[in-house]
Structure 1
Amino acid sequence: MNYLKYGFYGFILSLILSSCSIFQKDITYKQSTSVSLADEMQLEIYQDTATVAFEKSFYEEIEADAKKKKEVDLDELYASFENVPEENLPVFSPEQTALQVNAMSGSVELKYTDEVQKYINRFVSKSGRKYMSKMLALSQLYFPIFEQILSEEGVPEELKYAAIVESALIPNIMSKAGAVGLWQFMYGTGKEYGLEINGNVDQRCDMIASTRASARYMRELYQTYNDWLLVLAAYNCGPGNVNKAIKRSGGDDFWSIYEHLPRETRRHIPKYIATYYAFFYHTDLMIAPMRDMVKYTDVRTVMVDKPMHLGQVAGVLGLKEKDVAELNRTYLKGYIPAKENKSYRLVLPTYESGLFASYQDSIYGYNRSEYFSNEGKLIAKKKDIYPSYGVNGTGTRISYKVRRGDYLGRIARRHGTTVRNIKKWNGLRSDRIRAGQRLVIYTNKTPKTYRASTKKVKAKGKNKKLPYLPEKYVYHTVKKNENCWSIAQKYEGVTQDSILELNKIINPSALRVGQKLRIKEI
């Protein structure tokens, strides 16, 4: 056939076909005067044994390589790390580390800084490697759960490393500020995102419920900041501090507002990046998960619709009660307060979770008189394997109504406790309170003492006048409509209570315009 009549394309086609005789055996041409030129030249190749053979060989080779990588015995690889002398452990230069960090960036934009390097140095030190080894072991249980939930909620999976920075993957840990759990929820924020928190149940310690709540909180923060590092910053120090830093700096990403953030948050994000780095390159750094640290990593959940104790679950399913408790830190006393219209989640090893449905009635009745009274009330004494998470205090629980002129320092002194405790019991992020607000307080004082103390404090209406020492203190001149709380917001690291204490103020409502207040020591 004369292909030249089709012009340039025909010429090219004739060259290809003349140089490949194997194609000419198996090609059928479609010609029609009623179709376009392009359709006339369309070829159907039914068989090309040479090409098929080449492709099959090529893809088999790729699949074999991939299979080899998957079949690497990680236990064997990790075991090889144990015999490497300390002086032979890999060390990367700052230039190499910077390239490695930059190569990790995905949805979360990472940046190498001196502060990041400082934390990396800690993690690759002798004690740091041991810590990371523990985190790698714990992650085998928690990370598959985190990844699934973060993905479902539209949050980058890289944010799973934030849980290590927040809690070191300890489900029942409590911070000094009163934040609890893997994702460090304060009481108020936890309740806001649907977590149940009471004397029997604290879902801030629930690996599933707390992760879901955390993902939703972070997703909402992202809608505000459109920067995942800013989300982590706001998660750590609160949106208010991030907003102030943005306003002061004029920036709109984490690194542009870095210098204006609280010191703890300036450390928090570099630590997150360094943690991510240590996990991402743990085999290159020869860090292996700690052996035998986590007993169960393959777990499933079942729903419980009858009240029962974890001791009953363990007894029937042949597990240790301590192991069941470690998977279910949610239940503060080991008691699952389920009922017909309210079921609760129970985490079990995969095999035992399959047995639960068949043995649920047996579990419910197992040694029941040791755990519950005839009326169904819990009578089993709380064991040490069920630690308290700090939601409740000691002493008498009272509900205190905040009065005009009250501040946390005064309330704490009046009830024989501390500001930190009051904030912890009530999930307060700041020292700000308002008249009429109800606070939960645990105290060993009697109500009569409160009334006498209140009258005594109320009688002292005048504040002491202190000497003016500008060489020792930073001062603030009170303006119209300002109070101690609003003044504290203008200075980093300053609280309403610290101003009251520093100025010996006993009646905050007695501030006057033009008054000079000590803010902090120079």
Structure 2
Amino acid sequence: MMKRKLFISGILGLGVLCMAYSTDHGIAINPTPGGKKLKKIVLSQQFEFPGKVANDSADPQDEDITQAFEVGYNAANGIRLNPRAIQFVQDYMEKNGEDLRKMKGWAQPYFNMIDGVLKKYGLPEELKYLAVIESELKSTATSWAGAVGPWQLMPQTARDLGLRVNRNIDERKSYTKSTHAAAKYLRDLYREFNDWLLVIAAYNGGPANVYSAIRKSQGSRNFWKIQNYLPAETRMHVKKFIGTHYIFEGQGSVTTLTKAEVTEQLGVIATYLINRRLTTDELSNAKSMEVSGKYYSGAIVKNIMMDPAEFNRYNPDFDAIMGSNNNAYEIKLPADKMELFIANKYIILNESVQMLLSGATVVK
């Protein structure tokens, strides 16, 4: 069922949450003292020259913010924001930054819980900021369309995800249970779209609206190309997520980039390594063994009947390392695939050599 969200005119009134209680953990959340004024940061210059912030006039109270941006955009990160988002993010940060900064203290227990759940499902922890723009983390938030809770789940969607929703109980209001449900939904949406900006758009406006926008844009799956075919609310929702992410993190991540931007800026390996972390269940079911020699992923996936993307998730940098002088690797596979690998490893090695000799591409 298509999900619709609570209309939020900016991320305001966060003080209402200051005395909220986590019913799942029994943790009382207390506010931090009044936040410091957020200094305007010239994003356009920063995104053009990663690692540099126009802060010559920064006063001491803004040092923590400017330092966060400097650290976030050093060579180790260098994630660039799409030029089409810069002005919106700049305005959003200027308008909402001070209120959102106050959340860093009192909302930390919530964020810690959400991080743990997202990690269990193999999802980027930065997706927690979706709950901020959905509901301001309010467990009682209710939209005109009937979406309820911190993750603003519609009744049927919540039931499909395993939550109880009836006259006597509404588990959408439970921080822990609703977070598990939202994580399942986000995981399924990522499997559907394989692009975090499209996932956020679909979470807000429903997959049908995203597919409609894709069709109207001649099949493009780039959010920045299809955005004008999305409902205005959904389009703004994605940009609010990006703005909130920058306020909290002082930098971007795979969740603020299109799939193409992730590949361009972080590389193919990073796409699998960061976007599709192995879940707890996947890790517990995986088997490992050290291999050496001229093994090639193309031959492996062919013989064990495994999707190449899944293989790369389990074994990032495999071809690059196996193609180097130090070609030893602890290969990790689901238990059933490992059995096939062991049973066919000599065939796989022979086919690997043949593929490499015939010019197969090695990812480096």
> What is the TM-score with the length of structure 2 in the denominator?
0.49
- Structure whose CA Rg is larger: 1
- Higher helix share goes to which structure? 2
> What is the TM-score with the length of structure 1 in the denominator?
0.35
